[in-house]
């Protein structure tokens, strides 16, 4: 463990093995830092009220504020949480808030995520594994990004939006409806424009799965059918598989409606 003498560490903090805390960091409250994690400098970590848990081998860059109170007028200092997994990179000037009682009480970030400079992850957001959020993109409260989602720079995601796995959000997009898995979405307001073929190929999806997904995406995005009519066509015309089952269930369960 290597803690710079200029840093201030809460007596309630739990610090693992081989943790590096650089100069002028502040670790507040009930904060747990997993083995091998590195706070570079000028990092604010934790909250006077909430609980923050970091897994192993995370890297947090200068001037980030991770685990601060939610920016929600209803929050009254309840002991909510931020839980971050392993092997994440959080770059300069990122802000991530703990959860609220009304949103399940927890903000969660999975493993192997990259959150670039100036990004914001608000209260009660749920990020899966291998998520990338590019510079200056902003997530409102209760946003869900499933595994392998990529968000380009300068994007804004409205509260309660859900983005399915392997979806890609193009730069300078405003997202106010759910984005189906495996798709590329862009615009203000963002709409799904194509299948994320390159992402699926890189992830090892079969040619047959990609063709079925692409057909389903085209049925949803290119036609004038209702969602119910599109679902009926997809189940008749597309070869079903675990990937397609997930696609269909995501579409059926969308609470905000999909961006078509």
* From 110, 141, 156, 164, the catalytic residue: 141
Over pLDDT 70: what percentage of the chain? 100
pLDDT category at 163 given cuts 50, 70, 90 is very high
* From 42, 120, 123, 142, the catalytic residue: 123
What per-residue confidence (pLDDT) applies to 130?
98
What per-residue confidence (pLDDT) applies to 14?
97
The answer to whether the beta carbons of residues 31 and 10 sit under 8 Å apart is: yes
Q: Give the 3-state secondary structure percentages of the chain, helix then strand then coil, rounded to 5.
A: 20, 35, 50
Residue 86 bears catalytic tag = no
Q: Over 90: is that where the pLDDT of 260 sits?
A: no
Q: pTM value?
A: 0.95
What per-residue confidence (pLDDT) applies to 111?
98
Q: What is the mean pLDDT of residues 179-194?
A: 96
Domain spans in the chain, listed from the N-terminal domain onward? 2-142, 200-253
What per-residue confidence (pLDDT) applies to 97?
98
Nearest to 160 by CA among 139, 136, 178, 142: 142
CA distance 257 to 244: 19
Q: Which CATH architecture has domain 2-142?
A: 3 Solenoid (2.160)
Residue 67 bears catalytic tag = no
Structure tokens at 260: 């078509």
Residues 6 or more apart whose Cβ sits within 8 Å of residue 73? none
Residue 141 bears catalytic tag = yes
Return the CATH fold of 200-253: Udp N-acetylglucosamine O-acyltransferase; Domain 2 (1.20.1180)
* From 29, 55, 86, 124, the catalytic residue: 124
């Amino acid at each position: 463990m290597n803690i710079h003498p200029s840093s201030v560490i809460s007596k309630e903090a739990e610090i693992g093995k081989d943790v590096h805390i650089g100069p002028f960091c502040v670790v507040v409250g009930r904060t747990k830092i997993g083995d091998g994690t590195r706070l570079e400098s000028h990092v604010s970590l934790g909250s006077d009220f909430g609980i923050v848990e970091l897994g192993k081998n995370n890297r947090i860059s200068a001037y980030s504020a991770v685990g601060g109170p939610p920016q929600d007028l209803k929050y009254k200092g309840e002991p909510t949480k931020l839980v971050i997994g392993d092997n994440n990179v959080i770059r300069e000037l990122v802000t991530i808030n703990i959860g609220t009682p009304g949103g399940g009480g927890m903000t969660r970030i999975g493993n192997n995520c990259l959150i670039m400079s100036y990004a914001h992850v608000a209260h009660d957001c749920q990020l899966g594994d291998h998520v990338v959020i590019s510079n200056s993109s902003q997530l409102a409260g209760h946003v869900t990004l499933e595994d392998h989602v990529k968000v380009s720079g300068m994007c804004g995601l409205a509260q309660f939006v859900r983005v399915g796995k392997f979806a890609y959000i193009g730069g300078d997009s405003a997202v106010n409806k759910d984005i189906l898995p495996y798709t590329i979405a862009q615009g203000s307001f963002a709409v799904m424009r194509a299948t994320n073929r390159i992402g699926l190929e890189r992830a090892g999806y079969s040619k047959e799965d990609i063709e079925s997904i692409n057909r389903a995406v085209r049925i949803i995005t290119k036609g004038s059918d209702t969602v119910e009519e599109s679902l009926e066509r997809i189940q008749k015309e597309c070869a079903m598989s675990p990937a397609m089952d997930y696609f269909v269930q995501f579409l059926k369960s969308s609470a905000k409606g999909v961006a078509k």
